Amino acid sequence: DAGVTQSPTHLIKTRGQHVTLRCSPISGHKSVSWYQQVLGQGPQFIFQYYEKEERGRGNFPDRFSARQFPNYSSELNVNALLLGDSALYLCASSAGLAGGPWNTGELFFGEGSRLTVL
């Protein structure tokens, strides 16, 4: 079975541009979450989607948006890129458990998309 796949793996943008990152969860998983990891830090939560609905949002500006499609894949969009947006963007999927969207059980991560903003 394929794991979580993310694309592109690396990309370079300039300030002010827009970027779209994509994530395909493990087959059968309905929850997808996005994280930003800057060098030397732990991942920071950006969004969580469960059954195509936004269930959680971290402390990120409105320039960041996401959506989940009927096949449970997801996109993360970032507008008006800043130098500080340079990071590894990670996507995770989980099967989800009863009791709330955050009791999602084990998280499985993709290899990430490395974004460099010049």
Partner 1 sequence: KQEVTQIPAALSVPEGENLVLNCSFTDSAIYNLQWFRQDPGKGLTSLLLIQSSQREQTSGRLNASLDKSSGRSTLYIAASQPGDSATYLCAVSGANNLFFGTGTRLTVIP
Enumerate binding residues for partner 1 (CB under 8 A).
4, 33, 35, 40-45, 48, 55-56, 58, 88, 90, 92, 99-112, 114
Q: Residue 72 or residue 89: which is nearer to partner 1 going by CB?
A: 89
Task: Tell the smallest beta-carbon distance from residue 3 to partner 1 (Å).
Answer: 9
Burial class of 16 by CB neighbour count within 10 A (0 to 12, 13 to 18, 19+): exposed
Classified as helix, coil or strand, 86 is coil
Task: Tell the smallest beta-carbon distance from residue 16 to partner 1 (Å).
Answer: 27
Going from the C-alpha of 72 to that of each of 17, 29, 92, the distances in angstroms are 26, 8, 12
Q: Residue 20 or residue 103: which is nearer to partner 1 going by CB?
A: 103
Burial class of 103 by CB neighbour count within 10 A (0 to 12, 13 to 18, 19+): exposed
Q: Residue 52 or residue 108: which is nearer to partner 1 going by CB?
A: 108
Residue type, 53: E
Task: Tell the smallest beta-carbon distance from residue 110 to partner 1 (Å).
Answer: 5
